[in-house]
Homo-oligomer: A and B are copies of this chain.
Amino acid sequence: MESYQQQLSQFIERVKHNTEQYLGYPVSKDFDYQELAELIQYPLNNLGDPFIDSTWKVDSRQFEREVIEFFAKLLHAPENNWWGYVTNGGTEGNLYGLYLAREIFPQGICYFSQDTHYSVSKNLHLLNMRHIMIRSQANGEIDYEDLRETLRIHRDLPAIIFANSGTTMTEAKDDIGKIKSILNEFAISQHYIHSDAALCGAINPFLSPKPSFDFADGADSVSISGHKFIGSPIPCGILVARKDRVDRIARSIAYIGCLDTTITGSRNGFTPVVLWYAIKKYGAEGLRRRAQHCLDVAEYTLQALQSIGVEAWRNPNAITVVLPEVPEAIKIKYQLATANGITHILCMPNVETSHIDQFVADLKEARV
């Protein structure tokens, strides 16, 4: 029988190998957090609200607060009126945003496009929220006409908008400015807008024109994934919300000696250090360069695929290149997700033109 040490080393080899190949998931792999390895000796736990002191001291909440502040600024959150925490991933941030919305507007209806990530339907179900799915345009963006018609019918009820800034398959971005003008058209003043910027939340701020997706554009909360564009060995995310929206659900808790507004009790204390380390290392300028690299490689990918006759396309300023479903062997080799006859390449920061050349060569051969 194999010892568990042998099993472990085989496992690590396999993980290393499988990390080398994938192109189909929005997960950066060009990170180096070896300086943080020592932390896995300690039971870090960011119990409770990052902004309120606790009797428990084995935590990284100081760094968590810095991370939230960095993103609050990047997302143009209103001064002195923001709050947030480091989540276990984009989904938890979305759940939190929807939860806030439901608490504020229990009678509200949630509207979201059909290209929205499947976890949102799960969240809405979990939260027991009334919801209506809106058609998407061919590029994956919400169909504003369908949204207008639907809002018109339900203008007597509060509207909860779940907007995507970067859909899963095509990285389409719903325009919050356009959505707000529809809400205004019907004088729906009772509304809440959550922005799911899982992939693009750390890219959008550096794009020109800047997509309409953040607090300046009208969002009440924004969720970003930490393990996507930034990169993390453990899934994590950043949730930032308008503080006046959060104060509603604050709840006084004697046990941990703090107001606990987060969803779970015990919280990961390692990933806030990961994100803190990344923003210290990159800074806003580093993130900008990282985003530009992705855009350049995405454009290169598009051209390369088109040059071999593949009907590839990408949304404006997207780092995702969409193409028709590829042969099974290619799907497996590059770990490509496929839905409704399309697949996609994610030009994450670690992807270089050499990887694309290899992929295009493989695809060309497989198609012959």
Give A residues with C-beta under 8 Å from B: 4-5, 7-8, 11-12, 15-16, 18-19, 22, 24-25, 27-29, 31-45, 55-58, 60, 62-63, 88-92, 99, 117-119, 122, 126-128, 168-169, 225, 227, 231-235, 251, 253-257, 260, 263-270, 273, 276-277, 280-281, 331-332, 335-340
Contact = CB atoms under 8 A, between A and B. Distances in A.
A11 B45 contact: no
A257 B337 contact: yes
Q: Name the 7 nearest CB pairs between A and B, nearest first.
A: A4-B280, A235-B266, A18-B57, A128-B128, A40-B233, A37-B37, A91-B264
Contact of A16 (B12, B28, B42, B332): B42
A53 B267 CA distance: 28
28 contacts: A4-B277, A4-B281, A5-B35, A8-B273, A11-B60, A11-B62, A15-B42, A18-B58, A19-B42, A19-B58, A22-B58, A25-B56, A27-B45, A34-B40, A37-B37, A40-B233, A42-B233, A43-B232, A55-B336, A88-B88, A88-B268, A90-B266, A91-B263, A91-B264, A117-B255, A227-B266, A255-B337, A255-B339
B233 A56 contact: no
B335 A56 contact: yes
A36 B44 CA distance: 16
B32 A227 contact: no
Contacts of A91: 263-266
Contacts of A55: 24, 331-332, 335-337
A280 B15 CA distance: 20
Given A4-B276, A43-B232, A119-B260, 17 more contacts: A15-B44, A16-B42, A31-B41, A36-B40, A42-B233, A43-B231, A55-B337, A56-B337, A57-B335, A88-B88, A89-B264, A91-B263, A91-B265, A119-B265, A122-B251, A168-B255, A254-B340
Nearest to A14: B57
B34 A12 contact: no
Contacts of A41: 31-34, 233
Contacts of A18: 57-58
A331 B55 CA distance: 8
A253 B4 contact: no
A232 B90 CA distance: 23
A340 B254 CA distance: 8
Contacts of A119: 260, 264-265
B266 A118 contact: no
Nearest to A33: B40
